[in-house]
Structure 1
Amino acid sequence: MSDVSPPQYDAQVVLYTRQGCHCCENAEAVVRKFVSDITRVDIDSDPELLQKFNTLVPVVEINGKVRFRGKVSPMLLERTLAAEARQAAGPAS
């Protein structure tokens, strides 16, 4: 039996990163435990993003909102994704 479970949340996740960023690689590994579809954006390819996020990467945006800068806490990430899923589901009937 494997300890690895498939990603369980459906959210639009954007990971702002740059080449050679070890923290960015770690952040992606954490996010992939919960979400399978991640859009990676290299900030060095866009002067506006470079100015906005230069020393803050990795930056994790979930459903259009920046939720993490720097280190990504697995516990806080899971709580954030669960809250986003509840919000998307709407009020319980």
Structure 2
Amino acid sequence: MSADPTETARVVVYAKPGCHLCEDAVAVVAQVCADAGETWREVDISGDEDLMRSYGEQIPVTFVDGRQHDFWRVDAARLQAALAR
């Protein structure tokens, strides 16, 4: 991974293609971030051995401001609260 995605987005979702939980999480993150006017980014971990080793069993993994926020599911209200801090 060349650049730290947390430097370019407030919310980062680590995911991989074909993951239905990832699709659900991305939809929630996209909506919450759009409503809050915040930036977000999805990172495909399938091509990165280190990320797969770290997060492969927990995806989707959501980070807010560089800190792990959630994994497996994203709760919209909890994400909204984290972005309001």
Report the TM range for the smaller structure's normalisation.
0.7 to 0.9
TM-score (norm 2): 0.79
Give 1 or 2 for the bigger CA radius of gyration: 1
User: 5 Å matches for 1:5-20?
Assistant: 12-20=10-18
**Cα offset, 1:43, TM superposition:** 1.1
Percent identity, aligned pairs only, is 34
Q: Where does residue 55 of structure 1 map in the other structure?
A: 57
> 1:76 maps to what in 2?
78
Q: 1:45 aligns with which of 41, 44, 47?
A: 47
Aligned to 2:70, the other structure's residue is in SS state: strand
Higher helix share: 2
* Structure 2 gaps, min length 5: 1-8
Tell me how far 1:75 sits from its aligned partner.
1.1
Question: Distance in 2 between the 1:44 and 1:32 partners?
Answer: 21
Describe the superposition over 1:13-56 as per-residue Cα deviations: whole angstroms up to 9, x where unpaired: 11100010111011011111121432111111110000000110
Distance 1:16 1:41 in 2: 5
- Number of residue-to-residue matches in the alignment: 73
How big is the alpha-carbon RMSD for the aligned residues of Structure 1 and Structure 2? 1.2
Q: TM-score, normalised by structure 1?
A: 0.73
Q: Give the superposition deviation at 1:74.
A: 0.9
